Amino acid sequence: MPMETVEPRPLDALLINPPWVSKDQNIWHGIKAAMPPLGLLSIAAYLEREGHRVGIVDVHVEHWNMDEFREALRQYKPRYVGISLMTSTAIAGNQIARIVKEIHPECIVVVGGVHAEAMPGECLKNSAINLVVRGDGEVTLNRIVKGEPIEKIRGVSYRKDNVAIHNPPAEVILDLDSLPMPAFHLVPMKKYYPALGAYRRLPAINMLMTRGCPGKCTFCNSAETTLRTRAADTVVDEIQHMRETYGIREIQFYDDTFTIFKPNVMRFCQLMKERKLGVSWTAFVRTDCFSEELAQAMKDGGCHQVMFGVESGDDAILEVIRKPIDRKKTEWAVKIAQKVGLEVRATFMFGNPTETVESMQRTIDYALHLDPDLALFNITTPYPGTQMFEWAKEHGYLNTEDWGEYELSSAIMTLPTVSPEKINVMYEKAHKKFYNRPTMFARRLKRIRSFSHFRDNIHAFFYIVLRRKIGKRGLTRIEWVDSFKEDFWDVPLSDPTLAGKLLRTSQIHKLDLGVPETMTGQTTSVSLPILSQ
């Protein structure tokens, strides 16, 4: 019997989320999440509202290998393909661009996302990538898909006679409430799962109230990006919609600093309490943008976990990374959160500039002293686009520019003050000291709410303490990253306009929803001895 041939579906834009694959036995393997790609969903919703036919392919959540991806791609006939790049997905993203051109040679490939914004010239060295979008993608990609002349579209980088041209930065989208709800209907909602230890109830999804951060932290891509917020009412309406449409019972807010517009957050908590939606939530909070009043309101509004970026137990290191929050303030923030019944997840970094074995020991001691309910230990990674990357490159401290290694679990820098080996030793020690405590295991057990929660906690314990992986979570399709970025460079590109500088617009946007809280040390300039050496 002849096989039925299905005509490929014509699309104006197909947006692709590359797989997150780790080369080494990264600690994230066994606990990592697959959550809807919010940036792509927001762009897709915007394009649909403008009348375009849009599709999304999430290679990460599908766990596809390259052939399975090729098969999926043959089902579409897109005019434009958009690929989102973080540094750790940049290699896979370059592979994807190549495969797209192999199957659909006529289509225009556009990349965007935090890595593309930081390294537009590098992306353009791959002939399979036609355009780079820097910054917010909604308006810019719409202008591209509509066919406006590329030279006239702000926020786009492109090639002209093998020379990189970077148009001026795009306008930042200030009114987030003007954007449509992310296009959750275009992705397989049932397949997503949150990181272990990060949720209480399922199904869970991610959302944003704000974009941007006025912080100046040298290691962070969000530093000094334009801060904007949605109105609390719009966010609660969206949560209600997600509850009614998809049965969502938990929201993970991925805002860089959720509490920064305090009056708006207070209103959000009040609305969540009044509407009794039966949805619990978690959020990232800076310890200097917190108060007892806020903690209580968050708890009453359904929040069950806050995540604090503590980073170091050493004051000098906190100064150097430009996050000089008083450690007493952090201790107090952890105490008040726990007092009102919020679980505390805290993150710490090893291998910062000027770090020594002693300073890392102080971080371990501090983590044990703070005693959060969960601690995440990372190895400092100088991501492209951050101040720390520029500094490390300038001083010759970078061990590798293989982006597959940029995953927060191996030492990317060889510092004058401490060796990569010692950093690894202290990183391993931190996990063992923190999690190999009977009190820790007992505390996890006490917080268990359901069978799936119990199962995931057991998985997390096995993975973090014993490094044994169970199940499909974090499944590695290593072929995606079995190459180097140089393998894609087939264009002898000259990039005279960029000269290593980040092309971005940034401004603090004070909406009438309330002036953002002032962050400690963020209004004065902090002396950075090592950075100015």
Which residues contact ligand B12 (rule: CB under 6 A)? 20, 28, 33, 35-40, 42-43, 82-84, 86-89, 110-115, 133, 136-138, 141, 195, 206, 208, 220-222, 254, 256, 383-385, 407-408
Q: How far apart are the C-alpha atoms of 137 and 155, rounded to whole Å?
A: 9
Closest distance between ligand SF4 and the C-beta of residue 57, in Å? 29
Rounded CA separation 151/156 (Å): 8
- Is 286 a binding residue for ligand SF4 by CB under 6 A? The answer is yes
Instruction: Round to whole Å and give the CA distance between 263 and 270.
Output: 11
Instruction: Take residue 205 and report the two structure tokens written for it.
Output: 């999804």
Choice between 64 and 219, CB closer to ligand SF4:
219
Query: Applying CB under 6 A, does 114 fall inside the site for ligand SF4?
Result: no
Smallest separation (angstroms) from ligand SF4 to the CB of 410:
20
**Span of 116-124, 157-165, 219-227, 332-340 interacting with ligand SF4 by CB under 6 A:** 219-227
Which strands, in side-by-side order, build the sheet including 131-133? 54-58, 9-17, 76-84, 108-112, 131-133, 156-160, 163-166
CA 186 vs CA 74, 183, 221: distances in Å: 17, 6, 28
The reply on whether position 481 binds ligand SF4 by CB under 6 A is no
Q: Give the DSSP H/E element, type plus range, for residue 38.
A: helix 38-49
324 in contact with ligand SF4 (CB under 6 A): no
Which of residues 184 and 383 has its CB atom nearest to ligand SF4 in the complex?
A: 383
H runs (alpha helix) in 119-261 = 120-123, 138-145, 232-246
Could you give the residue ranges of the DSSP H alpha helices within 50-131?
A: 59-62, 66-73, 90-103, 114-118, 120-123
**Binding-site partner at residue 257 among ligand B12, ligand SF4, none, CB < 5 to 8 Å by type:** ligand SF4
Q: Is 345 in the site for ligand SF4 (CB under 6 A)?
A: no
Query: Which residues make Cβ contacts (< 8 Å) with residue 117, sequence separation at least 6?
Result: 134, 135, 385, 502, 503, 504
Binds 84: which of ligand B12, ligand SF4, none (CB < 5-8 Å by kind): ligand B12
The answer to whether 125 and 159 have CB atoms below 8 angstroms apart is: no
Contact predicate 256/213, CB 8 Å: yes
Is 335 within 8 Å of 316 (Cβ atoms)?
no
Q: Which of 81, 132, 179, 220 binds ligand SF4 (CB under 6 A)?
A: 220
Smallest distance, ligand B12 to C-beta of residue 292, A: 26
> Which residue stretch of 37-45, 119-127, 198-206, 213-221 sits at the interface with ligand SF4 (rule: CB under 6 A)?
213-221
By DSSP bridging, strand 280-285 and strand 250-253 are parallel
Query: Of these, 99, 173, 217, 285, which contacts ligand SF4 (CB under 6 A)?
Result: 217
- Residue 86 engages ligand SF4 in binding (rule: CB under 6 A): no
**Distance in Å, CB of 204 to ligand SF4, minimum:** 22
The reply to whether 31 sits near ligand SF4 by the rule CB under 6 A is: no
For residue 182, the partner it binds in ligand SF4, ligand B12, none, with Cβ less than 5 to 8 A by kind, is none
With residue 49 as reference, give the H or E element that holds it: helix 38-49
* Closest distance to ligand B12 from the beta carbon of 305 (Å): 14
Compare residues 127 and 361 and give the one whose CB is closer to ligand B12: 127
Q: Tell me how far, at minimum, the Cβ of 221 lies from ligand SF4, in Å.
A: 7
Place of tokens 């929040």: 303
Binding site for ligand SF4 (CB under 6 A): 213, 215, 217, 220, 222-223, 256-257, 286, 309, 323
